[in-house]
Amino acid sequence: MSEAKQLNDRINKIKAHKPNPTVAMALSILFAGLGQIYNRRYFKGILFALFEIAFIITFGEFIGLGLWGIFTLGEIPGVDHSIFLLVYGLLSIILIVFAAVFYIYNVRDAKKQAQAILDGWIPPTFKESLKAGYDKTFPYLLTTPGLLLLIFAVVFPLMFAISLAFTNYNLYNSPPRHLVEWVGFSNFTNLFTNNLWRNTFVSVFSWTIVWTVVATTFQITLGLFLAVLVNDVRVKFKKLIRTILILPWAVPGFVTILIFAAMFNDEFGAINRDIMMPLFGLEVPWLTDPTFTRMVLIFIQTWLGYPFVFALFSGVLQSISNDWYEAADIDGASRWQKFRFITLPHVLFATAPLLIIQYTTNFNNFNIIYLFNEGGPAVQGQNAGGTDILISWVYKLTFDTNNYNMAAAISLIIGLMVSIFAIFQFRRTAAFKEEGKL
């Protein structure tokens, strides 16, 4: 009896309160949580207000410095460190975006709830609202840790790289002696108007494309070929063969590349000394002639890369229903026809996204190029080695010559190209179409 009365009292009390949505909104804009308190959602209101106070106390000063820093990049050489200021600025912007999201939610919430109360909505009890809040925010709870890490490990570095592309940060403008300045698009114009930059870019870019296409296609073809062979019903010891074929994937690439580099040493490596010399009387300049180095690189990448594709295809092949082949046999299809019209479409369709990722990975396959011969051998008339791909060139610009600004500009261009390719391809493949929009 008394419980029902209590409830009734509560409802009456709430009904007596008629909040004005605009006032609630205005209050929340003034300070987070005020609108909620006005709506008599005390717990939420105080929580929001505490959030804002804590945020201002913790980050206020940092954000002030950061924003000043990112605009000016410092004013006094030796005292202000432009790069540190830039980083503080970017972090401040991230913090502000967090705050803005929270603030917008706070304002909308104040207005919405005021409106709802006017419309006769009975706010749940504290316990109930906690439960409802948990249900509603559950997916956000799940994704928040990941999102936070992503922002700091992926988005923030990317913001930094983008910023650098518009500064003049190189050896001669380095802090502490100098201040870095914003220079607009001049790095990009430089890249395309200065001869040495342009020539290097064009030649590195063309080799990068050749490298990506040839090496990846080889590894996919070899993987497919071997997978089809192992899948043949007549082959015995399948498990053993699979294990051996998968070995190059199992041995760390970092180690194998360095081992290959040693094996292909022109004078003292095993290939020339133990194979080429005794068998053919030849000493092939593996590491000193760009053409040979490129061939070896493609060979090694095929060696390293096919097992992944092989493993993938083996799995898919086993899942292709036999009915297809039986039907084809009845129609009198040749073996090639069966492969061409049943097997190939099946595996390619099923694995398309992963194959695309293979291409984009090789496009940025820094390790093999750098570890094998550091992008060498040298060629004349350019600012990069004969086997440098864009990414290894960027590495050299960054760590060898401190051309941070150009490295960043080139990285942006690479990123744009790869992502446009990827978006285009993802959209084309059925697997992604299913997901709807990108």
Residues 121-160 that bind other proteins (CB under 8 A): 135, 138-140, 142-143, 145-147, 149-150, 152-158, 160
Window 314-353: residues binding other proteins (CB under 8 A): 314-316, 319, 350-351, 353
Q: How many residues bind other proteins (CB under 8 A)?
A: 151
Task: State the Cα–Cα distance between residues 7 and 16, nearest whole angstrom.
Answer: 14
Angle of CA points 176, 180, 183, to nearest 5°: 170
Window 169-198: residues binding other proteins (CB under 8 A): 170-178, 194-197
Nearer to other proteins, 40 or 115 (CB): 115
Q: Which stretch binds other proteins (CB under 8 A): 13-21, 63-71, 122-130, 211-219?
A: 63-71
Q: Which stretch binds other proteins (CB under 8 A): 11-19, 35-43, 204-212, 381-389?
A: 381-389
Nearer to other proteins, 8 or 22 (CB): 22
Using CB under 8 A, pick the residue from 21, 33, 45, 248 that binds other proteins. 248
Place of tokens 């050489």: 77
Window 250-269: residues binding other proteins (CB under 8 A): 250-256, 258-260, 262-263, 265-269
| Site track for other proteins across 209-238, x = CB under 8 A | -----------------x--x--x-xx---
The CA-atom distances, in angstroms, between 217 and each of 226, 265, 306, 423 are 14, 26, 10, 20
Using CB under 8 A, pick the residue from 14, 95, 96, 342 that binds other proteins. 96
What backbone phi and psi angles, to 5 degrees, belong to 380? -80, 160
Using CB under 8 A, pick the residue from 14, 23, 26, 29 that binds other proteins. 29
Which two structure tokens, joined as six digits, stand for 293? 């180095």
Q: Which stretch binds other proteins (CB under 8 A): 13-21, 42-50, 211-219, 286-294?
A: 286-294
Angle of CA points 269, 270, 275, to nearest 5°: 125
Burial class (CB within 10 angstroms; exposed 0-12, middle 13-18, buried 19+) of 137: exposed
Report which of 367, 387, 369 is spatially closest to residue 377, judged by C-alpha positions.
387
Nearer to other proteins, 8 or 221 (CB): 221
The answer to whether the beta carbons of residues 108 and 209 sit under 8 Å apart is no
Q: Which residues of 62-75 are buried (b: 16+ CB within 10 A; e: fewer)?
A: ebeebbbbbeebbe
Task: State the Cα–Cα distance between residues 78 and 75, nearest whole angstrom.
Answer: 9
Using CB under 8 A, pick the residue from 186, 288, 324, 342 that binds other proteins. 288
In the bound complex, what is the minimum distance in angstroms from residue 364's beta carbon to other proteins? 6
